[in-house]
Chains A and B, each alone.
Chain A
Amino acid sequence: MAACSSTTSSSSSSSAGASGAGASTGDITCVDGAIQASGSSAQANAITDWVNAYQTACPGSTIDYQPVGSGAGVQAFISKQVSFAGTDSAVKDADLAKAAAVCANGGAGINIPLVGGAIAVAYNLDGVDGLVLNSETVAGIFANTITKWNDPAIVATNPNATLPDATIAQFHRSDSSGTTDNFTSYLTATAPTTWTYGSGKDWMAPGGQGSKGSDQVIASVSQTPSSIGYVELSYVLDATGAKAAAIDNGGGAVEATSENAATTIAAATVTGTGDDLTLKIDYTTKEPGAYPIVLVTYEFTCQSGLAADKNPALVQAFLGYGASDAGQANLVSTGYVPITGDLMTKVRAAIASIQTA
């Protein structure tokens, strides 16, 4: 069954120089119209970059992404207000049933992972560069069982650094967040005896201080000496005064970079059925050069049966640009993590399968 895609004009690569994000526009298929989307704020900056590039290349298109939170985004999709939702955790169970009801003629709702991210453990410690932590020490610090920098466990992974006898000021998220969800999933999977607080969008462990949003966590860490926190990688790269710690996943210390995180994401297993690409990430990976603390944001939409006024053609074109080489290269330059390898092939296939007629 051929997908009815209604391409109205092909890409204008001549406008490459004028694109707001500096990305090449050779992979853009322009579809006129306007779509609304909402959801995860973790991918807000990545989506904004794509939107700007797409809108610059295709002046007749408008994509309006509202970073109001994954829950609100899925709710908006269920209420038929948006064309796709961005969510940090795949839509499943009851929500999936409700969301699929939005897709006419028994169409399926599919999760398409498009934006990867690395969760950096950002620290601010005078005189210490290149801090190396492993899952046990990270869990200990955030569970408040390790309270000083010169704790033997931290010294063990940093034999060449002079760690002071200072209290660690630990910052976590005060608001619900997909970053917390993935971070605590990592801790639960890799250090279950030290981290006994389970995983979820809300911070459950005692101690430390909560800040609202990754922006406030990184600001707190940057401005508080002897502090540590977890944030999306792009926030650390933008900040002065905080650095990302390297994580020893059991196969050696791994720097927090897009490439290293991409290795882990590419190795994720698909647990969804059909074209639904819900992923199960292996946080316990010991592969050298695989940064283990990663997250993936899914775009959720109807594979078929999306209402015509939601402009499925533009959805497909926009997501297609995001999945293209140009779009994914843009992710790297802004501190996000690309989807690579076999997984990316499946992602592109899923996007191509979106019915636009």
Chain B
Amino acid sequence: MSTAVKERQAGGGAPQIGGASIHPADRNFRWLVIAAGVTVLVIMAAIAVFLVVKSIPAITTNSTSMWATEQWAPDSDPPSWGIAVLIFGTLWTAVIAMIIAMPIGVGTALFISFYASPRLSTALGFVVDLLAAVPSIIFGLWGLYFFMPQIVPLSQWLATYFGWIPIFENSQDLYTKSILIAGLVLAIMVLPTVSAISREVFLQVPKGHVESSLALGATRWEMIRMAVLPFSRGGVVSAAMLGLGRALGETIAVALILSAVFEINWQITEPGGNSIAANIALKWGEAGINGRSALIATGLVLFAITLAVNMTARWIVDRRKEFSGAN
């Protein structure tokens, strides 16, 4: 009896039956699912091991500091390369992307969930989701040839009237291929992710909370502010983190748009820097053996960054776990 009770209280949320007779097929099935889970572990371990092993040659032969050097020459003699510019570019474009994508993505999700008629919301949701299927190289092309010419005037406006803020200053009088444009395109790419997950979360809000707040005389915005947002904070953060993960790892669109100047530049309207993923895409084909090893090292660092982001998201979400929707 006590065994059965213990098993019932144990994890997974599903009731268990402990004790005497376990069907042999049950045991086999259990091993099957455990094997599947372990496969995930094995794959992750293999990735970590291989990437570390393959990046060691470049790291150990680097003649300058890997963290501080603002240069990329791992195939020259002596090799000299540094990741500072890449980390900066990766984070800076991703931050800009998230600053734009979060309000618009959550706003769109709110619109679809609470403001639009059912048919409109289905149609809208479908269109936004469809964008997840557009390959990133198309985003890059569209961003470069259709979008960028429209954003250049905006950049000029920012530099002219807000140039006293350091990040909007533009000393080169060149407004194309900038971090701002790459960030905007990234924001558009990340939008479907943020919006779809936020929508899922808003769907989980108990109808009772929504309706009772309205019955008490709240305006629609007050209802959202008091009943929906506190409940969905964890989910929205999770959406943000997933979107951020995608923005950090986006390769081809950034490679096409950014000017790949290898220096740290805070001015977002000037022709811009480089991100880790874009750098790999740009340099891989022509790289020699040490060059490839250095690129793998940067890939590892990128992996570590996205890992940190995901762990933060999971930690935040776990604190809100009691709001899970089942039952």
Whether chain A touches chain B in the assembled complex (some CB pair under 8 Å) = yes
Find A175's partner among B76, B282, B291 (CB 8 Å cutoff). Answer: B282
- Which of A9-17, A205-213, A233-241, A309-317 lines the interface with chain B? A205-213
Docked CA distance A207–B174 (Å): 10
Q: Does A167 contact B (CB under 8 A)?
A: yes
Interface check B200, CB cutoff 8 A:
no
- B73 touching A200, Cβ below 8 Å: yes
- Interface segment among A63-71, A111-119, A340-348: the answer is A63-71
> Beta-carbon contacts of B234-278 to A below 8 Å, as 1s and 0s?
000000000000000000000110111101000000010010000
B174 touches A169 (CB 8 A): yes
The answer to whether A175 touches B286 (Cβ under 8 A) is yes
A202 CA to B74 CA, complexed, in Å: 10
Q: Using Cβ atoms and an 8 Å threshold, which residues of chain B touch A200?
A: 73, 75-76
Residues of A contacting B71 in the complex (Cβ-Cβ under 8 angstroms): 204
Q: Does the CB pair A174–B258 fall under 8 Å?
A: yes
Also in contact, A209 and B174, with CB within 8 A (given A71-B291, A200-B73): yes
Please judge, given known A-B contacts A70-B286, A71-B292, A175-B282, whether A206 and B263 are in contact too, CB under 8 Å.
yes
Asked if A304 CB lies within 8 Å of chain B CBs, one says no
Q: In the complex, A40 Cα to B286 Cα: how many Å?
A: 8
Please judge, given known A-B contacts A71-B292, A174-B282, A175-B283, whether A212 and B173 are in contact too, CB under 8 Å: no
A183-232, CB < 8 A from B: 200-204, 206-207, 209-212, 216, 219, 223-224
Interface size on B, residues (CB 8 A): 32
B261 to A210, Cβ gap below 8 A? Answer: yes
Q: Closest residue to B256 on the A side, CB-wise?
A: A212
State in angstroms the CA–CA spacing of A212 and B71 once bound together: 18
User: Any chain A CB within 8 A of the CB of B170?
Assistant: no
- B261 in contact with A206 (CB, 8 Å): yes
Please tell me if B309 contacts chain A, counting CB pairs below 8 Å. no
Given contacts A202-B72, A209-B176, A224-B176, contact A176 B259 (CB under 8 A): no
A69 adjacent to B285 (CB under 8 Å): yes
Tell me the complex Cα distance, A54–B274, Å: 41
Distance (Å) between the CB of A333 and the closest chain B CB? 27
Give the distance in Å from the alpha carbon of A69 to the alpha carbon of B286 in the complex. 5
CB pair A210–B286 under 8 Å, yes or no, is: no
Complex Cα–Cα for A214 and B117 (A): 49
| Chain A nearest Cβ from B155, distance in angstroms | 14
Contacts A209-B271, A212-B255, A212-B256: A202 and B285 contacting too (C-beta < 8 A)? no
The answer to whether A176 touches B176, judged by C-beta atoms less than 8 angstroms apart, is: no
List the 5 closest A-B pairs by CB distance, nearest first.
A69-B285, A174-B260, A176-B286, A175-B282, A210-B260
Listed A/B pairs (27) with beta-carbon separation below 8 Å: A69-B286, A71-B285, A71-B287, A71-B292, A72-B284, A72-B285, A72-B286, A74-B288, A75-B292, A169-B174, A174-B255, A174-B282, A175-B255, A176-B287, A178-B286, A200-B75, A202-B72, A206-B261, A209-B174, A209-B177, A209-B271, A210-B177, A210-B261, A212-B255, A212-B256, A212-B260, A223-B145
